[in-house]
Structure 1
């Protein structure tokens, strides 16, 4: 039986390393998304799962202020804003915010919203039940729509020493054009 030469071993190890790095590259985005959802890292909010929820959260007498921030990325000629810029909510209680989007172009356009909350420590306690950000939104030329977000702030925020000084949470959205709608300019 022949043994591999040093060059063949080095080439095999290099090829194995390339395959491993490509695999890691493909796995990194889903793994990072999972990490952010679990930890709230970077202000990633939680998504309510009624099957996984043990019980409805207890509503506390404590309140917290929620500020709504909206942006539209370049290339999407929409107007986008919250119906009310702030809200005071009872911790644990379900609440609803309304956002308004208007397509100011002569074409039907599709947008998708990215989101986060600040401070980052609040991300793992800010839970969305229903949100326009879960799906793409298509607005006809000149159309204006009202979009609800149903959410609650988990009472566990009161037990977290890293979050004990949080008095205001900012929920921020940015609408981006979907690639197929490049004709919007």
Structure 2
């Protein structure tokens, strides 16, 4: 092999290595963007991290065993709303469809949008705590000074009673945190109403 061919081969190898490294970097960047939605789908499918399940209808089977479900509500500092559960807790039979209401109020003189994050504790209960209807499934927009009732329909899957790891659980907490989902600079925040919780 003459020097000219050796130089070309060396450049080809360097170009191939550079191309492989660029592809590796691009793949890692792509995976980092995909990680959050993939993790969210995993949590929703398995209940990992206390993420509740979603169903269209409640099961036919309702057990006599009751569980107390408590409600925890929070509002991020950037969202000028008040948000609370209309009941602090309910006692529900396993498998029974239950409807509860939350109330949100916009403390400003302009429309504001928010989205609720949610989880269940203890975490193991997330795989059995199932929502049929929830305000948390989509963004909520409240007009200036508006108050609204927000329904949640849920049930606890009867398989909860058959799981050895949940047999001693007598209480579940459903937690919501509302986060702002529009541009904060578009809204004049009412003084003294930057944060709330219950």
TM-score (norm 1): 0.90
- Give the equivalent residue in structure 1 for 2:130: 127
Asked whether the equivalents of residues 57 and 154 of structure 1 are also in contact (C-alpha less than 8 Å), the reply is no
* The one of 108, 111, 136 aligned to 2:111: 108
- Say yes or no: does 1:156 pair with 2:163: no
Q: Which has the larger Rg?
A: 2
Question: In the TM superposition, what are the counterparts of 1:10-29 in structure 2 within 5 Å?
Answer: 10-29=17-36
Matched, 1:82 2:89: no
**Distance in 2 between the 1:71 and 1:113 partners?**
9
Segment of structure 1 superposing worse, 161-170 or 95-104: 161-170
Aligned length: 181
CA contact (8 A) 1:70 1:172 kept: yes
What secondary structure does 1:162 align onto? helix
Task: Give the 5 Å matches for 1:52-63.
Answer: 56-63=59-66
For the Cα contact (< 8 Å) 2:112–2:182, is it kept in 1? no
CA distance in 2 between partners of 1:49 and 1:100 (Å)? 24
Q: Is the 8 A contact 1:117 1:172 kept in 2?
A: yes
Higher mean displacement: 157-166 or 120-129? 157-166
Gaps of 5+ in 1: none
User: Could you tell me how far apart the structure 1 residues matched to 2:139 and 2:30 are?
Assistant: 29
Superposed CA deviations along residues 134-167 of structure 1, whole A, max 9, x for unmatched, are 1111111111111110000001111112222211
CA distance in 2, matches of 1:10, 1:156: 53
In structure 2, C-alpha distance between the alignment counterparts of 1:16 and 1:110, rounded to whole Å: 39
- 2-side partners of 1:11 and 1:63: how far apart? 62
Give yes or no for contact 2:66–2:93 (8 Å, CA) kept in 1.
yes
Query: Is the Cα contact below 8 Å between 2:105 and 2:148 reproduced in 1?
Result: yes
User: 1:35 corresponds to which residue?
Assistant: 42
> Is the contact between residue 98 and residue 146 of structure 1 (CA under 8 Å) also seen in structure 2?
yes
TM-score scaled by length of structure 2: 0.84
Output one character per residue of 1:52-88: Cα deviation in whole Å (capped at 9) or x when no partner. Answer: xxx8341000000000000010021211111110000
Flag structure 2 segments of 5+ consecutive residues without an equivalent.
Answer: 190-198
Aligned-residue CA RMSD (Å): 1.9
